[in-house]
Amino acid sequence: MARNGMLLGLALATLAGCSVFGSKAKRYEYGGMVFTGDAKRVRGDRASFVATGGPVSASLEGAIGATEYQGIRYCIKYLGTSDIDWAVGPDTPQAQLPVEGDKLTFQGTCRE
């Protein structure tokens, strides 16, 4: 009986851990704040993507880091590389960064 309880507890802990790790995978922490984002491919070209991150209102530097992180995650996941040629990216002057709503947007191409 104790063995069944232990197995059930282990199974529940495992399932809870999956949801926690899955939801945190796209999170980026900077200065004690949490930033989120995403990256999606550009139609017709798997190597090209658009990444977003924010909230910019919390910290522009944090949003830059979060958006760059999303681009790196995308390239590693789909092309196995973290090398990126940024059209608009972390090296773009801050005054020229595209902000819409509370999200920052980068565009890049994964180098194969």
Q: For residue 17, which amino acid is it? A: G
Digitized pLDDT (tens) for each residue of the chain, 112 residues in all: 555 444 444 444 544 444 444 556 789 999 999 999 999 999 999 999 999 999 999 999 999 999 999 999 999 999 999 999 999 999 999 999 999 999 999 999 999 8
Question: Is 70 within a domain?
Answer: yes
In this prediction, residue 5 carries a pLDDT of 46
Q: Based on the structure, what is the number of domains in the chain?
A: 1
List the one residue out of 106, 105, 51 whose CA is nearest residue 78. 51
Tokens describing residue 46: 């798997």
In this prediction, residue 1 carries a pLDDT of 53
Question: Is 7 within a domain?
Answer: no
Three-state DSSP at 81 gives coil
Domain membership of residue 82 as a residue range: 27-110
In this prediction, residue 38 carries a pLDDT of 97
48 burial (CB, 10 Å; 0-12 / 13-18 / 19+) is: middle
Question: Is 49 within a domain?
Answer: yes
Question: Is 53 within a domain?
Answer: yes
Look up the pTM and report it: 0.78
Question: Is 4 within a domain?
Answer: no
In this prediction, residue 26 carries a pLDDT of 81
Tokens describing residue 44: 């017709």
In this prediction, residue 47 carries a pLDDT of 97
